């Protein structure tokens, strides 16, 4: 398995993990590692990373639009009001990963998210304070060098768990930190390693 950056037919050198899958390559190029500062979007990504546990990210990525539709575009204000009837409907939705514990965990995490939003300056600042408000830029040359978790992800995992969030183990949290640009783990030879630094994600319009 390739562990170093790969040169693609378009002339760009990328991390090896997206392979040639167009959807995965687009995600790698435009989302992964780009700093995300939007509160709701961070909640969505944390939940989707929790659903990924035991699966591959590409599986979740292919179902992301279905997840957004099923979970009211991951608006915590709506999710906290989910009833047993709604949970039953989600368990019968073939477009998502049907796992009752993770569905119920999404509701519990929405409650915890809203509490953070009510108590302080927001979910985004709460998270980004763990990296002093700016991305931690790593300089890995191979994917074998990239850790599965770090002291910071362990600390953040414990804090999220203590506040009632579910499926937020240190490995899930580190994957979340990588995806949302809290850490830049693009390999140094990947064209995104340098370009991520000056980027900031544009908030996605909510689905009506």
User: Per-residue pLDDT tens for 149-169?
Assistant: 999 999 999 999 999 999 999
- The stretches in the chain having pLDDT less than 50 are 207-208
- The answer to whether the annotation marks 15 as part of a ligand binding site is yes
Q: Beta-strand (E) ranges in the chain?
A: 6-7, 13-14, 136-137, 183-184
pLDDT score at 98: 96
Element (H, E) at 117: helix 100-119
Question: pTM score, two decimals?
Answer: 0.93
What CATH topology corresponds to 6-198? Answer: Endonuclease III; domain 1 (1.10.340)
Q: Are 152 and 173 in contact (CB under 8 A)?
A: no
Residues in the chain: 208
> b/e map of 136-158 (b: 16 or more CB within 10 Å)?
eebebeebeebeebbebbeebbe
Q: Are 66 and 93 in contact (CB under 8 A)?
A: yes
pLDDT in tens, 94-121: 999 999 999 999 999 999 999 999 998 9
- The answer to whether the annotation marks 8 as part of a ligand binding site is no
User: Of 32, 45, 37, which is closest to residue 196 (Cα–Cα)?
Assistant: 32
- The answer to whether the annotation marks 190 as part of a ligand binding site is yes
pLDDT score at 203: 62
What's the 3-state SS for 24-50? Answer: HHHHHHHCCCCCCCCHHHHHHHHHHHH
């Amino acid at each position: 398995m390739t562990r170093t950056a790969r040169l693609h037919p378009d002339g760009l050198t990328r991390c090896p993990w997206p392979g040639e899958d167009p959807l995965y390559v687009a995600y790698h190029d435009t989302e992964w590692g780009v700093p995300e500062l939007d509160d709701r979007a961070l909640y969505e990504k944390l939940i989707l990373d929790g659903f990924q546990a035991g699966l591959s990210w590409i599986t979740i990525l292919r179902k992301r639009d279905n997840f957004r539709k099923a979970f009211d575009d991951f608006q915590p204000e709506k999710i906290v009001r989910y009833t047993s009837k709604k949970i039953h409907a989600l368990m019968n939705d073939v477009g998502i990963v049907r796992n009752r514990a993770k569905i119920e965990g999404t509701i519990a995490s929405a409650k915890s998210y809203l509490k953070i939003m009510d108590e302080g300056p927001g979910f985004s600042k709460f998270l980004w304070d763990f990296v002093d408000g700016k991305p931690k830029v790593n300089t890995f040359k191979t994917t074998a060098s990239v850790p599965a978790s770090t002291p910071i992800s362990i600390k953040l995992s414990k804090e999220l768990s203590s506040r009632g969030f579910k499926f937020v183990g240190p490995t899930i949290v580190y994957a979340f930190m990588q995806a949302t640009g809290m850490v830049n783990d693009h390999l140094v030879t990947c064209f995104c390693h340098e370009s991520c630094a000056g980027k900031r994600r544009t908030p996605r319009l909510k689905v009506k």
